[in-house]
Amino acid sequence: MFWSVMMMFKVFGLMSAGVPPHPADIKATYFFRHLNKYHYIFCLLLYKYVIELSQLALHRPPGMKKKSKISNMISRGSAFMRLASIRTKAFIAYCTTEVWSDTRRTWRINTIKTINLTVRSFLNTDLQNRASALTYNTLLAIVPALALLFAIGRGFGFENLLQTQLFQALPSQKHALEAGIEFVSGYMQQASQGLFVGVGIVVLLWTMISLMSNIEDTFNTVWGVTHARSFGRKVIDYTAIMFLLPILMICSSGISVMASYALVDNPRLHFITPALKVALDVAPFVLTWMSFTGMYLAFPNTKVRFKNAFLSGIFAGTAFQILQYLFLSGQIYVSKYNAIYGSFAFLPLLLIWLQLVWTITLAGAVLCYSSQNIFQFNFSNDISTISLDYKRQIAVVIMAITVKRFDLGLRPFTVTDFAANYHMPSRLVTQLIDEMVAADLLSAVVAGEDIYAYQPATDPSKVTLGMVLDKLNSQGANDFIPNFQKDFSDIIREISDNTRQTIAMCDKILLRDMPINGLETK
């Protein structure tokens, strides 16, 4: 680094003296030998700036008078700012649109794609309104949820501990919390007497199941899943979550309390006090991370990879803890609301808090979806405007590769294999394969858990180019416009005759005989 700086001073010194710097002096610096497009863009701008200034100093026209130092500084600064503006616009254009045409799979490019797709998905799926809907549903489910929490806590003997934690979380709303806990206690007493025994339990469970069903629907929307769980599976899964979550909360709180008392009662354990204090300080973050990770794994009705769910859980959990800190710190500044709302002063703050929590949760869900599916959006701008001819070419290539691999006895390809080996966008491959499966050209075979590979649906010796084109052209809805065939019969006849002639010529070409790089015919 020291010699790099010295070489930079040498370049500036030669330039100011009117002597051209030797190219070796410039190339010898560490910055220019190890230039990186993304992390050293400033060094690139500085390099261009030095070269341009040296050229201007050496090739000044004969009639041109020497400018003052101030004028030179202004002109150089303007040139540098123009160049910086051009480079910045190019970098922004790359990050927003051109990155989807880059098929390299480096972590830098994947990070840019993930952030790009996360922002686009968050804005396009209208998640703010969905967060508002979940806020309303959560508000309706608060009393049943607290009733369930205190019922389980009472069974484990931790009811007072839960109340203490609530008072510590909202110290400025002590009277409102006392009223709320009394309301929950009354709700539990009514639900355990007479007619309310069955009705209360049904209402409690139905309210919680309805809330979690709405959460699942929102997550499925983020993931693009069209089929929700069956009602029976919802009841089983959600009931398990309802009973396990309070138990885990109580256990985590109990562990913290017992660890603190253990240090007080056992002086011999004081040597681990610093490490245990750090662990207790980090524990809320870890528990929050795992809670969000479990939510991203459990609620979407699709397979979610743990790595993507965990990274998104870290993001959402950290944001939640920051929000919690700001929320608790701000309680002392909103005491004036007590004079307006009285014992209901907690309601506006609670609604704001719930809205922000659900926004963070859905942002984490979008991040999880984006990080797992970034390769499906390669060339996304081009896919939306793809021509029919190019689409047919890609479909025929996919069919030819599938037939050739089947004929050679090789492993059938999945969508991921096509994308990785031939740089095809996964979303387009999925769309074309679905069309060919519907046209009885391909059939799916199980290649793993929720992973499917594809093979020819008919004998490869009978799969011709004409058959593929004919089935793809016939796939989909036809003849649904009233009187269309009658009004335009002549045009339709010409199109049909020429299409049949083309398909008849292509019927003589077997896909198994078409050459493909890397696949040799038997």
pLDDT in tens, 134-157: 888 888 877 777 777 777 667 666
**C-alpha span between 199 and 192 (Å, rounded):** 9
Render pLDDT for 410-453 as a digit per residue (tens, 0 to 9): 899 988 888 878 878 777 888 899 889 998 999 998 887 667 89
Max avg pLDDT among 50-59, 203-212, 333-342: 203-212
Phi-psi region of 478 (alpha: psi -120 to 50; beta: other; left: phi over 0): beta
Write out the DSSP string of 439-506: TTSEEEEEEETTEEEEEESS-GGG-BHHHHHHHHHH-S--S-STTHHHHTHHHHHHHHHHHHHHHHHH
Q: State what percent of residues in the chain have pLDDT above 90.
A: 5
Strand partners, 453: 414, 445
The mean pLDDT of 107-120, rounded to a whole number, is 76
Is the pLDDT at 398 greater than 90? The verdict is yes
Max avg pLDDT among 246-255, 275-284, 318-327: 318-327
CB contact at 8 A, 11 and 21: yes
- Residue 249 has a pLDDT of 61
Is the pLDDT at 4 greater than 80? The verdict is no
Is the pLDDT at 509 greater than 90? The verdict is no
Q: State what percent of residues in the chain have pLDDT above 70.
A: 63
Q: Name the more confident of 206 and 334.
A: 206
Average pLDDT, the chain: 74
**C-alpha span between 315 and 332 (Å, rounded):** 27
Bridge-based pairing state of the strands 413-414 and 451-456 = antiparallel
- Residue 395 has a pLDDT of 92
Pick the CATH number of 382-513 from 3.40.50.620, 3.50.4.10, 1.10.10.10, 3.40.225.10: 1.10.10.10
Render pLDDT for 461-491 as a digit per residue (tens, 0 to 9): 888 988 998 888 888 777 778 888 888 888 9
CB contact at 8 A, 412 and 367: no
- Residue 456 has a pLDDT of 92
Q: Which residue has the tokens 């049949």?
A: 500
Is the pLDDT at 108 greater than 90? The verdict is no
Q: What are phi and psi of 410, to 5 degrees?
A: -90, 165
Three state DSSP letters for 177-235: HHHHHHHHHHHHHHHCCCCHHHHHHHHHHHHHHHHHHHHHHHHHHHHCCCCCCCHHHHH
User: What single letter denotes the amino acid at residue 141?
Assistant: A
- Give the start-to-end residue ranges of the domains of the chain: 2-96, 121-375, 382-513
Render pLDDT for 27-64 as a digit per residue (tens, 0 to 9): 444 444 444 444 445 555 555 555 555 555 545 554 44
pTM beyond 0.85: no
